Amino acid sequence: MDKIPLTQAGFDKLNGELKHLKTVERPAIIKAIAEAREHGDLSENAEYHSAKEKQSFIEGRVKELEGVISLADVIDPTKLSGSIKFGATVELVDEDTDEEKNYQIVGEYEADIDAGLLNMKSPLARALIGKDEGDSVDVKTPGGTRSYEILSITYK
């Protein structure tokens, strides 16, 4: 199987979520299922069915996180330099609106556009990879083509 690139921060976040699910959520849902069983007839027990559904979600997420963590390839962006690649923090300016944006290019499991973490498989990240400061890139978006100028590239 292919390795999954992650930054150290992304790896730590996923590992923290896994630990929380195993040590807090899993025991809590087991207790909730036991309490719901005590209420009698399980066929009409909404609390029991809800708790079993939540348990199923938790177990699925635990398996997913264990899989991602086992395939993780933790990349330290501070050891990188040069043109844009995984881990780069990029300052862009929209050439139409002069709006400046900062993004770090990360793997899909740690991407969060609201936090400035851009999925490396997104159209914008794919357009940026391999480019240098001062370059312009055109990105096709659902709202039309956008043009960005790369103001700076840092690896932190």
| Whole-number pLDDT of residue 142 | 82
Strand partners, 146: 139
| Whole-number pLDDT of residue 39 | 78
| Whole-number pLDDT of residue 1 | 66
**Pair of tokens at residue 62:** 């635990």
Q: Is 67 strand, coil or helix?
A: helix
In total, the chain counts a number of residues equal to: 156
Q: Report, as ranges of residue numbers, the positions in the chain whose pLDDT lies below 70.
A: 1
Sheet of 89-94: strands edge to edge?
Answer: 117-119, 100-106, 89-94, 144-154, 136-141
- Is the pTM higher than 0.85? The answer reads no
| Whole-number pLDDT of residue 40 | 73
| Whole-number pLDDT of residue 156 | 84
**Pair of tokens at residue 136:** 């312009």
With tokens 């199923």, the residue in question is 56
pLDDT > 90: percent of the chain: 72
